[in-house]
């Protein structure tokens, strides 16, 4: 059987059992958990190990229309999606199973979830669609010229990791809207540096993109595919903005909506 990991935003055990039973009839082995909505303790990261298991071929998220519009749920799901996609590629299949209301348009979702499928969890129509999805080859990668990942836990805090996928950046810049940056560092990708010498660090720059104000930090250390820029963030930003450091006003940046 193909293994699916199911995150349930709804608290009804009967609803979850019904979905798991439905999937089993189509030869899909579903395991899962009830979503823990505790951003302060970074509870969203708990199922990461199961989702990185190569036997897990799809991540299903069961929730109501209201659940998928809840800012706290959206933020936690977005961060988990970011770190799973960093490890398994942007083509790793994610499906929202919506229990009520008109199906959400993927365009209304956060940036990490924009490419997902949204299916109705009522009736049996979603079963064959999931079967087709897990038996086809991995989804097409959505190429990006950057790397984005997360490191941390309740004790270390919340660290965003960015860097170039190819080539080099002559420094890094990271900005948040609705949160606070408290520390920055540079080191080998994949783990927080024990110590870091920063070249020309900048803190507390104010940037505006449209009507949204961001607070940015930056360094001028050279970054490559094996070297990352790490930023510790306090709070839960609505969106983040990052890219190579540049003193020009029209610098190219990437914006990721998290709520």
> 132 or 1: which carries more pLDDT confidence?
132
Task: State the pLDDT confidence band at 211, using cuts at 50, 70 and 90.
Answer: confident
Rounded-to-integer distance, Cα 259 and Cα 252, Å: 22
Decide if pLDDT at 95 tops 90: yes
Cβ 29 vs Cβ 1: under 8 Å: yes
> For residue range 145-204, what is the model confidence (pLDDT) as tens digits?
899 999 988 889 999 999 999 999 999 999 999 999 999 999 999 999 999 999 999 999
Superfamily of domain 2-135: Response regulator (3.40.50.2300)
Q: How high does pLDDT run on average in the chain?
A: 92
**How large a percentage of the chain has pLDDT more than 70?**
97
Domain boundaries, the chain: 2-135, 146-257
Tens of pLDDT, residues 54-68: 999 999 999 999 999
Locate all alpha helices (DSSP H) within the chain, ordered by sequence. 13-25, 48-52, 71-88, 126-135
User: Which of 95, 70, 78 is closest to 150 using CA atoms?
Assistant: 78
Q: Is the pLDDT of residue 76 over 60?
A: yes
Summarised one tens digit per residue, pLDDT across range 222-257 is 999 999 999 999 999 999 999 999 877 767 899 999
Say how far apart CA 20 and CA 34 lie, in whole Å. Answer: 13
Q: For the domain bounded by 146-257, which CATH number is listed?
A: 2.60.40
Q: What is the predicted pLDDT for the residue at 123?
A: 77
b vs e for 65-91, b when ≥16 Cβ sit within 10 Å of the residue's Cβ?
Answer: eebbebeebbbbbbbbbbbbbbebebe
- State the average pLDDT over residues 89-113: 93
Residues of the chain with pLDDT > 90: what percent? Answer: 76
- The Cα 87–Cα 65 span in angstroms is 29
CB 202 within 8 A of CB 257: no
Residue range 78-103: average pLDDT? 94
Domains 2-135 and 146-257 share a fold: no
Going by their DSSP bridges, the two strands 56-63 and 202-209 should be labelled as unpaired
Q: How confident is the model at residue 140 (pLDDT cuts 50, 70, 90)?
A: low
């Amino acid at each position: 059987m193909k293994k699916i990991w199911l995150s349930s935003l709804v608290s009804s055990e009967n609803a979850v059992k019904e979905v798991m039973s439905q999937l089993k009839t189509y030869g899909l082995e579903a395991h899962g958990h009830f979503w823990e909505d505790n951003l302060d303790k970074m509870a969203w990261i708990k199922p990461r190990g199961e989702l990185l298991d190569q036997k897990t071929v799809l991540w299903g998220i069961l929730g109501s229309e209201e659940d998928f519009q809840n800012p706290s749920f959206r933020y936690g799901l977005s961060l988990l999606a970011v770190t799973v996609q960093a490890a398994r590629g942007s083509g790793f299949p994610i499906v929202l199973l919506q229990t009520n209301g008109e199906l959400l348009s993927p365009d209304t979702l956060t940036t990490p979830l924009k490419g997902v499928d949204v299916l109705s969890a009522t009736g049996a129509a979603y079963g064959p669609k999931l079967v087709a999805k897990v038996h086809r080859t991995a989804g097409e990668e959505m190429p990006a010229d950057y790397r984005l990942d997360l490191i941390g836990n309740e004790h270390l805090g919340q660290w965003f990791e960015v860097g170039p996928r190819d080539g080099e950046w002559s420094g890094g810049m990271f900005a948040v809207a609705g949160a606070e940056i408290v520390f920055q560092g540079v080191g080998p990708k994949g783990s927080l540096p024990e110590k870091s010498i920063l070249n020309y660090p900048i803190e507390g720059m104010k940037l505006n993109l449209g009507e949204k104000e961001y607070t940015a930090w930056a360094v001028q250390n050279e970054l490559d595919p094996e070297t990352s820029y790490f930023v510790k963030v306090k709070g839960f930003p609505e969106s983040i903005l990052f890219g190579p450091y540049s003193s020009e006003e029209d610098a190219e940046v990437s914006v990721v909506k998290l709520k």
